[in-house]
């Protein structure tokens, strides 16, 4: 019983919480799919920001959306992600003395999220056939509008535009919620909502440019949350499985206990 408690002591998400999060992700996926397949919300929002008079999206080359969001902000977020990845890699090779297993688990979740969230979204984007709004015939381009899972018409090249790639540069910040887990779940939830709002805002700036539809950004948000969730469950399971080995490795970096040696006069005094 004591071993089981130790194994769960550094867990960030309990079993009941994992089931709840998994159910919420499943419901969100169904809702986003319905939104994109059964409504015209994507086209309605794109129509609202498209200017038929100039046959273009007015925000496409604006300083806020192109230079700042797609340039300066993306570079800053990429550098922050690289810093988190390097910190996690350094902890794996040279764990600092006194750092708990839970703290190391949090750092690994953040570091791997900074790597895998953009990587997974980018990989799925390259496999998609959907086109960006500014490429559609509806908005001055030449390509047809395709919903998720629509077949690509003969002779049409895939668009590689779903999910939204730019938003992924900010959505890995969802993983920062683990800094408050498991002790402060409400604060962790606020961190998740703040990160999603920030990532959604970055995605919305791309929608103003005509680079993505709303559901493109929503799918990126869902993928980011799913990747972080799977990482937390997988890493805490691995840590629980290899906990004795990790504790042994950490003990090598901890402070050594001073060894007491008998002084010469003490050994002489105690000898018969």
Lowest pLDDT segment from 24-28, 183-187, 254-258: 254-258
- The pLDDT tens digits for 206-238 are 999 999 999 999 999 999 999 999 999 999 999
- The pLDDT tens digits for 36-50 are 999 999 999 999 999
Q: 113 near 174, Cβ under 8 Å?
A: yes
Predicted pLDDT of residue 116: 98
Predicted pLDDT of residue 66: 96
Predicted pLDDT of residue 262: 46
Is residue 272 predicted with pLDDT exceeding 70?
no
Determine the Cα–Cα distance for residues 157 and 115; give it in Å rounded to an integer: 29
Predicted pLDDT of residue 10: 67
- The pLDDT tens digits for 121-153 are 999 999 999 999 999 999 999 999 999 999 999
Predicted pLDDT of residue 15: 93
Tokens in use for 106?
């949090």
Mean pLDDT of the chain: 89
Predicted pLDDT of residue 123: 97
pTM score > 0.95 for this model?
no
CB-count burial class (<10 Å; 0-12, 13-18, 19+) for 167: buried
Q: Percent of the chain beyond pLDDT 70?
A: 85
Determine the Cα–Cα distance for residues 185 and 188; give it in Å rounded to an integer: 5
Predicted pLDDT of residue 98: 84
CB within 8 Å of 226: residues ≥ 6 apart: 25
Is residue 2 predicted with pLDDT exceeding 90?
no
Show the 3-state SS of the chain.
CHHHHHHHHCCCCCHHHHHHHHHHHHHHHHHHHHHHHHCCHHHHHHHHHCECCCCECCCCCCHHHHHHHHHHHHHHHHHHHHHHHHHHHHHHHCCCCCCCHHHHHHHHHHHHHHHHHHHHHHHHHHHCCCCCHHHEHHHCCCECCCCCCCCCCCCCCCCCCCCCCCCHHHHHHHHHHHHHCCCCHHHHHHHHHHHHHHHHHHHHHHHHHCCCCHHHHHHHHHHHHHHHHHHHHHHHHHHHHCHHHHHHHHHHHCCCCCCCCCCHHHHHHHCC
- The pLDDT tens digits for 71-102 are 999 999 999 999 999 999 999 999 888 888 99
């Amino acid at each position: 019983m004591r071993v089981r408690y130790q194994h769960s002591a550094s867990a960030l998400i309990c079993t009941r919480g994992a089931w709840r999060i998994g159910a919420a992700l499943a419901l969100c996926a169904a809702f986003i799919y319905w939104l994109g397949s059964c409504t015209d919300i994507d086209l309605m929002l794109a129509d609202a920001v498209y200017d038929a008079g100039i046959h273009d999206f007015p925000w496409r080359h604006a300083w806020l959306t192109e230079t700042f969001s797609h340039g300066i902000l993306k570079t800053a977020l990429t550098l922050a992600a690289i810093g988190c990845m390097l910190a996690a890699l350094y902890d794996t090779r040279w764990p600092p003395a006194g750092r708990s297993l839970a703290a190391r688990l949090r750092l690994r979740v953040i570091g791997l999220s900074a790597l895998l969230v953009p990587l997974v979204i980018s990989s799925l984007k390259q496999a998609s056939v959907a086109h960006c709004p500014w490429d559609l015939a509806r908005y001055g381009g030449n390509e047809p509008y395709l919903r998720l899972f629509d077949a690509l018409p003969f002779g049409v090249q895939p668009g590689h535009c779903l999910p939204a790639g730019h938003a992924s540069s900010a959505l890995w910040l969802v993983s920062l919620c683990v800094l408050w887990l498991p002790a402060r779940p409400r604060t962790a939830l606020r961190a998740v909502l703040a990160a999603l709002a920030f990532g959604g805002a970055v995605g919305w700036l791309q929608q103003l440019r005509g680079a993505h539809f709303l559901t493109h950004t929503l799918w990126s948000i869902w993928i980011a949350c799913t990747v972080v969730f799977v990482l937390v469950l997988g890493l805490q399971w691995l840590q629980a499985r290899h906990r004795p080995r990790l504790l042994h490795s950490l003990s090598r970096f901890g402070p050594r206990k001073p060894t007491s040696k008998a002084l010469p006069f003490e050994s002489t005094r105690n000898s018969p």
